Amino acid sequence: MKEKFDLVKLLNILKKNIKLLLILPAICLVVSTALTFFVMPDKYTASTQILVNMKKSSSDLAFQNVQSSLQSVNTYTEIIKSPRILDKVSREFDGQYSTAELNSFLKVTNQTNSQIITVSVTTGNKSESDKIVNRISKVFAHDMPKIMSVDNVTILSSAHDNAVKVSPIVSVNLVISII
């Protein structure tokens, strides 16, 4: 036979275990705080923006040039992540970072129907994130004429002390620890 839900019984159980119900989340909060501040490494992301644009031409061809540029963006995104670019960047850092490491730091995105590519690098060091993303963008802009016989890449913005801390997110970690 099914027992009826008894609110009084539930309150008595909660009353008996109130210490445990208060102490356990407090312990989790303390442990999570210690892990967040002392164990989890900080990560910083710096970004640059690159414009892919065709050279100026007659106004009749302007729309076709924009369409061509939009189609080229996906190709350029892959070229940025290619060993040809990242190997050169690795050499410019005197081998401090391998091509695989650089690739793991790197994120390349673009908005739909946009000629702008955003290149982001995430590392444990704020200034290194800036340096690496700037170097990748410069090498890419410098090497594109050789790779595709076109000169249509412009760096719109460079990373100059604009790296932002992306992890750990303290507030999220602490809220999750209480739950």
Place of tokens 């892919």: 52
Per residue in 88-143, pLDDT tens? 999 999 989 999 999 999 999 988 888 889 999 999 999 999 999 999 999 999 99
Per residue in 158-173, pLDDT tens? 888 888 888 888 888 8
In this predicted structure, what is the pLDDT of residue 55?
60
Of 30-34, 41-45, 47-51, 170-174, least confident by mean pLDDT is: 170-174
Task: Write the CA distances from 41 to 71, 135, 169, integer angstroms.
Answer: 39, 24, 11
Of 62-66, 68-72, 95-99, least confident by mean pLDDT is: 62-66
In this predicted structure, what is the pLDDT of residue 53?
75
Of 17-31, 73-87, 140-154, least confident by mean pLDDT is: 140-154
4 confidence band (pLDDT: 50, 70, 90): low
Rounded mean pLDDT of the chain?
A: 86
Is residue 27 pLDDT above 50, yes or no? Answer: yes
Q: Enter the pTM of the model.
A: 0.76
Name the maximum alpha-carbon separation found in the chain: 86
Is residue 2 pLDDT above 70, yes or no? Answer: no
Closest CA to 156 of 110, 113, 125: 110
